[in-house]
A and B are shown apart, each in its own frame.
With several copies, the nearest count.
Chain A
Amino acid sequence: MDAIRAEDLISLIRAWRDMFAVQRDFLIALDGKVGDSDLGITMAKAFAAAYDTVAAEGPEAGLSKLLRGAGATMAKTAPSTMGTLTATGFLRGAKALEGKDTIGTPELAAFWRAYATGIAERGKARLGDKTILDVLDPVAGVLEAQAASGAALAPALKAAADEAEAALERTRTMVAQHGKAAAFQEKTVGLQDAGATVGVLLVKTMSEVVAG
């Protein structure tokens, strides 16, 4: 697809839901290394509830309202760190896409930029703090560059997903500064950040859905 419409967004959220159901135990184990093992449960719950909400609202609600509904539902259903940050991301993304009917490359760049900024503000995290931000900020950057060069949605997303994977690798060198993982300090070096992994999964699944 060359643009994401309201009905595509609903399918995308279903794909995210299915993906997080599959990745649940992997994320539990990953978060368990230097955290409290809740991440897999959080993400599975958040997207299951989000899908139920957007499916009930239907495409006629439009992109922005669907994203807002998804975010609001997540905030209620999965109010852990990553659940609330994801909710914040969706709510900010909804604001960024107000009045839009389709998401092309420029809109997608705006979405992820708003998402990343929302997380940074809410979590008071900075780049290099070993969080999801260290994946989403470069993702937004790549998409902005792709949009500037007039790239189509699918290749732009492919580039973003590749950058996400590279950015995730870079989190290995960082020391966690936030959340339960922060307590592990130097022991987090060498490990990929769990939240950043969630960021990669979001972008990769989105890229696959758009690629069809």
Chain B
Amino acid sequence: MKKFLNDPANFVDEMLDGIYRAHPQVTYVNDDRRCLVVASRKAGKVGIATGGGSGHLPLFLGYVGDNMLDGCAVGGVFQSPSAEQMYEVTKAIDQGAGVLYIYGNYTGDIINFDMAAELADLDGIAVKQVVGNDDVASSVVGEEHKRRGVAGIFFVYKAAGAAAANGLSLDEVTRLADKARLNVRTIGVALSSCVVPEIGHATFDVGADEMEIGMGIHGEPGIGRTKLAPADAVVDQMMARVFAELPAGRGDEFAVLVNGLGGTPKEELYILFRRVSQLFEEKGAKVKYVWIGEFATAMEMAGASISVLKLDAELDPLIAAPANTPFFAHYKA
């Protein structure tokens, strides 16, 4: 294991200490660094909370900030935060307009967010949930509820965050977040494993000339292990799965996120995007917004994912809206 760390047991808390030292825009409640919230709240606004395991920066906490999220419960590496932490975040960010939970479809997170929602309900805080399940490789059509949530949650955050900033109600923010969720698909490809600090060795092996399309961001299996193909061929294979579910016709408009899993240089992400862009071009469809970089990682895993959001008149301005968080700044498009 080649990592900059002190005691692996303190990995997450020292990372959080660094984050609070660097970004006064965020702070924590209940005397628990793992209950991260925006430092200043907007009265009457619907609160948006997320949460999940550490090791995916900028996910999840990196999107807490202006026009995005209001709080995040932070778990250990690849581990859910506790229901109590989620509940404390919920209480801190509720401004009387209720709180929307947006998180990924993982059993540990679901169980804990459910418990937190029950606790919040007892306090009279209205809570709604939108559970990201964008990973097309993790289950078949018809079984979408079994799909994992991966990088596509970025678009759900973006849409919900802008909607809440516009002063919409909890029901409306939830509806728009859910619409974004239903309109986004992601597919990933991994070239190498990652190392969980407390474990100290690779979570799994990928052969020196292999790739795995559809692998999850904790190393969950994908569609199959094959020989590493040229970049264009890899993208073609990936995008075929996306287009099968999100048809792109002449005049259709999309937002695209090409996400590095951690160990892959940005240069390569642009080579991947080049082909993605060609494929949309061939179909006469338009990539209206694009982000390329690290948005949802798996520590030092080499690989990338492509998320595609189908735009409509409602989602478009939410995606275009400005945002400013410690890990993500965007001027109005």
**Chains A and B touch (C-beta atoms under 8 A apart):** yes
Give residues in A with beta carbon < 8 Å to B: 28, 32, 36-38, 41-42, 75-76, 79-81, 83-85, 88, 122-123, 177-180, 182-184, 187
Which residues from A are CB-within-8-Å of B199? 28, 37, 41
Taking a contact as CB atoms closer than 8 A, the residue among B79, B114, B146, B221 that contacts A80 in the complex is B79
Are B108 and A81 touching (Cβ within 8 A)? yes
Taking a contact as CB atoms closer than 8 A, the residue among A80, A81, A180 that contacts B220 in the complex is A180
Given A28-B199, A85-B111, A178-B107; A36-B83 close (CB under 8 Å) = no
Which residues from B are CB-within-8-Å of A179? 107-108
Is B325 an interface position by the 8 A CB rule? no
Give residues in B with beta carbon < 8 Å to A: 75, 78-85, 106-108, 111-112, 114-115, 138, 146, 148, 196, 198-199, 203-204, 216, 218-221
Are B80 and A84 touching (Cβ within 8 A)? yes
Are B79 and A182 touching (Cβ within 8 A)? no
For B203, give the chain A residue with the smallest CB separation: A37
Which residues from A are CB-within-8-Å of B106? 180
Are B82 and A79 touching (Cβ within 8 A)? yes
Which residues from B are CB-within-8-Å of A81? 80, 107-108, 111
Kindly provide the distance from the CB of B196 to the nearest chain A CB, expressed in whole angstroms.
7
Are A122 and B203 touching (Cβ within 8 A)? no
For B73, give the chain A residue with the smallest CB separation: A79
Kindly provide the distance from the CB of B63 to the nearest chain A CB, expressed in whole angstroms.
21
Report the bound CA distance from A19 to B114 in whole Å. 30
Sample 17 A-B pairs with CB under 8 A, ordered by A number: A36-B203, A36-B218, A36-B220, A37-B196, A79-B79, A79-B112, A84-B112, A122-B111, A123-B107, A123-B111, A180-B106, A180-B107, A180-B216, A180-B218, A182-B146, A184-B220, A184-B221
Kindly provide the distance from the CB of A165 to the nearest chain B CB, expressed in whole angstroms.
25
Given A79-B82, A81-B80, A81-B111; A41-B198 close (CB under 8 Å) = yes
Which residues from B are CB-within-8-Å of A37? 196, 199, 203
Taking a contact as CB atoms closer than 8 A, the residue among A79, A183, A187 that contacts B108 in the complex is A79
Taking a contact as CB atoms closer than 8 A, the residue among B81, B114, B146, B219 that contacts A122 in the complex is B114
Given A36-B203, A79-B79; A84-B138 close (CB under 8 Å) = no
Are A75 and B82 touching (Cβ within 8 A)? yes
Given A36-B220, A183-B138; A76-B84 close (CB under 8 Å) = yes
For B82, give the chain A residue with the smallest CB separation: A79
Kindly provide the distance from the CB of A97 to the nearest chain B CB, expressed in whole angstroms.
20
Kindly provide the distance from the CB of B106 to the nearest chain A CB, expressed in whole angstroms.
8
Are B78 and A84 touching (Cβ within 8 A)? no
Q: Known pairs A75-B82, A75-B83; list 19 more (Cβ under 8 Å).
A: A28-B199, A36-B203, A37-B203, A38-B78, A38-B196, A41-B198, A41-B199, A79-B75, A81-B80, A83-B108, A84-B80, A122-B111, A122-B115, A123-B111, A178-B107, A180-B218, A183-B221, A184-B221, A187-B221
For B114, give the chain A residue with the smallest CB separation: A122
Report the bound CA distance from A76 to B82 in whole Å. 6
